[in-house]
Structures are given as C-alpha cells and as structure tokens.
Structure 1
C-alpha cells in the first residue's frame, strides 16, 4: 500500500515553481536531502496540509487529501522547534496531543506518563520545558507523537540543534519505537546531515531547485552515485567506475 503519493504537486515560491512527484510505501522511512531552499520543508508542508498546492493531488493512504485541513490528515509532525507549551508540564504537553482541553482526564494523563516512559523520561511528568535539556524536550515532543498513533510521521529536522551523538541517539530511539510498533509508521525525514539516513532510512531522495532529482537506496546514492549534482552537494567527487 502507498502511504503518501504526490502527483504533479506544484507550489510557487518567490517566482520559482516547485513540482513534486513522489510515492512512499506504507511503513517506509524516506530521508530527504538537498541544499537549503531545495524544497524539502515545502514538500513536508504540502503533505501535512500547511500549504495548499497550486495544482496536483496529495493522496494519503489511498485517499485524496489535497484540500483537507492539517488536523484531519493521518499525520503527526515534529519540527526543529519542539512546539511545547512553556506553562504546561511534560505530562500535559504529551496528553494534549490526544485531549486538547484545559482539564485533562486521568486516562489521558496515565497514557501520557506511559509514553514518557517509552522515550526514557519516566519521572519527568511534572517538569516544565524550562527545567529540561534540549534533548529531553525533544523526547517529550516524540512522546506526544507516539501517543497520537498516526500512521504517517513527518520529521522536519527535529534533532538538528542537537550534537552528533545525541542526534544519533534520538534517531535510534525513533527507529526502536518504530520497530516495536505493531503497525510501523511511514516516516519522511528532512535532514541536512546525509549520514543521519545511514542505518535508519530505507530510501533517500535528493532535492534541488524544487524538484526531486534522484531517489534510491541510501547506500547506493551516498556511496556509489555518479550524479554530479549529488556529489557536488556532498562535497565529493564521483566514485571511480569499476575496473578503472
């Protein structure tokens, strides 16, 4: 089953037309790489519904969602900014993902604490964002995503501000939670660190000038692609041909 399908989806930004044609299988982890301004975050915003395409179709799990509001789409999204409410505790910030009310019920709080425990934050329920590190705040945001149990997860560089070791730890946590899920979510991840895709993503897409230029297995594109545009982005020369 195809979880995400973009057919001729266009968006114009500062006079430049971006166009995306893409299919992502159910349960697949796709990493998007490319220079700044290539359209990576724009692609995610079109899938999530934060932007409306000028033309084309956005289908999610086989359903046309092109004109649907973001809240009605089967999607959770994590941003660089963890989007936590400063005045709420970790427990409340997580629970609000399923019960967006001023007074949270006991069941929602218990589920939130369970989700916090899953991301290694057992005992953090009453802490506020100001009392946590950057990595801990992103764990809270991840716990909220877990609790929502949406079949599609969009990651717009949520761990970019973390150091390399902590960023790898967070990606490993996402991978672990995905593996343990009875219905692994489809993940589309934007990153400026191509190595983040290694060991986690199933497939890589290289974007440039608002178009998807290449897609393929991670190792094939990062290690063996001879495409000059991708090699220039990676700061490398094309690999030598076999036998030479």
Structure 2
C-alpha cells in the first residue's frame, strides 16, 4: 500500500505537531525543511535537538503528530526504510574493518561488492581526500580522518536528506571548519540537487557561511527560526541572547 502524500507542501522533511515526552520535558516540534536547504539546530543542552533528529530518523517514535519526508508519511517507518542518512558525534566505524570496508557498508551491508560498487567506494574516498587510506583501520587515523570516512559512507549512500548530530564536536575550530566546507562541497556535487542538511551543533558559528537557516530550541520547542545572520544577531529574544551570551545592552 502506498504511503499517504503530505497534504501540505512537499518538503525534504516536515514535522507536523510532533510530540514526545521524556522525563519531565514535554516536547513539541513543528518544522519544515525545504529540499536542498541547510538548517542548523542550536540551543542549550537538553533542549531537544538530538531528540528531534532521532524522531526524524525513526530511532524514537513520537507520542503524537506525523513525520513526512519528501511528501511521504514515514511516521511508522523503520529507520532503514527512510530516505536519509545520519552522522553521529561517534563516527560509528567498525574497529575491525579497514577504511574501504567501513565505507562499503553504506551500499553493501554484506560487503559483497561488484566492480562498479568497488569503484564507487574508491571515488568516495578520493572525494573526501582519503585516497590511499583504504587499508587503514580506524585506530590508525586521526579524529578528522575518521569523520571523513563517516562522511564518505554517508554521501556514498546517495540519500537526499543528511542528519548531522554534532559529528565534529570533538574537533578543534580549524578542523570543524574544514569538515563543514567538505560537506558543502560534497552536497553540491550531487548531479540532481544539493542534499538537504539538518545539523545539530553547540557551536553557533558553525552555521555561519553554511546554514541557510537556524532554528533555536529551548525547553523542547522551536522558539524561533529564520535566516542564519538574523538569528545569530538577534538581541530581542531573551532565550537566544542568553544562549549566545549577548544582551540588548551589547548593541
């Protein structure tokens, strides 16, 4: 049976009155991310940012509301059935597998690759600057190199929606900028349309120059969203000002 079609506008991702209770926090999310958009989620710890991603990915089932991806209702779909890929802070590489096989898992979970698939893995590694690293194990690589492996695997899958849950939090500022620039290059290299990105970050500056919009979360809700420069320069919203460490008197 075909999934119902989103009665609203078709978007890469839409959370429609999604509700989820965790401990004493009642969360509610209404969010639309357009195709090809890069949206950054910021806010204090415990605001619900990672939970929002987990609901979109299918790792957490909402108590109410609907989740739409590309116009299809995926609220009850398993994570593997959703047209997205997710990169975590922990890069989820398998220590016993070399780089080539870790990337290959993105398209062949059984690691039985034909010649075309093997070429695709090699090309993915070349695009992230890891040509020649095929036989290395994760323990033999730096943190930035391991995240490049995770990105190669994510983009090799070719899913239209990419969820980033603070994958570069453990990296220094220079390496974070390098990784974000790499994502920008890879997503725009797609032949059809740029990949849609939904990124959680505790570093608001990561959104500058990359994210089209920013959504600020507090106490389990999206309090305000808008163009990146507008949100990060906002002195009128008390929650945003408090989070950014600014006040109206700073103007």
Q: TM-score range by the shorter chain?
A: over 0.9
TM-score (norm 2): 0.93
Unaligned runs of 5+ in 1: none
How many residue pairs are counted as aligned between the two chains? Answer: 241
The offset of 1:67, in angstroms, is 0.3
Partner of 1:92: 101
TM-score (norm 1): 0.96
Alignment of 1:1-244 (within 5 A): 1-182=10-191, 183-238=193-248
Contact 1:97 1:147 (8 Å CA) reproduced: yes
Distance in 1 (alpha carbons) for counterparts of 2:210 and 2:12? 18
SS in 2 for 1:2: coil
SS in 2 for 1:12: strand
Contact 2:234 2:240 (8 Å CA) reproduced: no
Contact 1:92 1:109 (8 Å CA) reproduced: no
Distance in 2 (alpha carbons) for counterparts of 1:160 and 1:150? 23
**1:42-88: per-residue Cα shift (whole Å, max 9, x none)?**
00000000000000000000000000000000000000000001111
Unaligned runs of 5+ in 2: 1-9
**Aligned Cα root-mean-square deviation (Å):** 1.2
Which segments of structure 1 move beyond 3 Å, counting only runs of 4 or more? 102-106
Distance in 1 (alpha carbons) for counterparts of 2:113 and 2:74? 30
Distance in 1 (alpha carbons) for counterparts of 2:234 and 2:73? 36
Contact 2:28 2:220 (8 Å CA) reproduced: yes
Distance in 2 (alpha carbons) for counterparts of 1:102 and 1:218? 41
